[in-house]
Amino acid sequence: MATKRINLSFSMNREDDAKVYNILSAQKYKTDYVIKAVISYVEKGDKTILDKEKIKEIVKEALRECGIDSINSNKAENNEQKLPKEIFDMFNSL
């Protein structure tokens, strides 16, 4: 099999470029490191990134499962026994 090369250039004026350059420079087996990093990134895709809207949908779904259709303080207080205390602590910390 043939060996293929890719030449990369990093602008040390850009923060991300400098950061990646320093990470790669510290690796003994750079090619292996890049291969594993790229494959890992592509396989995970957007699965690991939760945006604000996705988090809101997850919380709403969890609340619906507890019998709360909308976030309403009176209704939430009436259903407090169904929800773990940590839920309210989480909302208070936001």
pLDDT in the model for residue 94: 57
The DSSP 8-state label assigned to residue 26 in this structure reads T
Choice between 8 and 52, residue whose per-residue pLDDT is larger: 8
Choice between 49 and 29, residue whose per-residue pLDDT is larger: 29
Closest CA to 71 of 84, 54, 88: 88
Report d(CA 83, CA 25) in Å as an integer: 49
pLDDT-derived band at 20, boundaries 50, 70, 90: very high
Closest CA to 34 of 44, 21, 47, 52: 21
pLDDT in the model for residue 47: 62
pTM of the predicted structure, to 2 decimals: 0.48
